[in-house]
Amino acid sequence: MRYFRVAGDEFVENGRSVVRVGKVLTMDSPISKGRVVRVFEVLQTVRENPKNVLPRGALIALSFPCEHANTDQYTWQGSEECMIPYTIEDRKANLDALAKRRN
């Protein structure tokens, strides 16, 4: 799996799938010390693998090592923690909080 930025847009590539994402939330990892979780919303499918479909609006939580949390690109290695299960109980409240933070 790989995360990268191009011309201000953020993308996640997983196998043959590529999606453009927007950051929703950043927090310390609830699973591992020394990692940061960034929650993204899928904004657009650039390239789709029918076996790995991520629909527009889906939320994905990716775990980055702290030292790579704000880099322009990151590639996860074999057994490294990558995508974590995360449930947002009230999605609208989180998006409203993000909008307020941006203003």
Domain count, the chain: 1
| pLDDT at res. 52 | 78
Question: pTM of this prediction?
Answer: 0.79
The predicted-structure confidence for 44-63, as pLDDT tens digits, reads as follows 999 988 887 888 888 899 99
Residues 6+ apart with CB under 8 A from 8: none
The predicted-structure confidence for 61-101, as pLDDT tens digits, reads as follows 999 999 998 899 999 998 889 988 877 666 666 667 666 65
Domain that holds residue 25: 2-102
The predicted-structure confidence for 3-39, as pLDDT tens digits, reads as follows 999 999 999 998 889 999 998 888 888 888 999 999 9
| pLDDT at res. 2 | 94
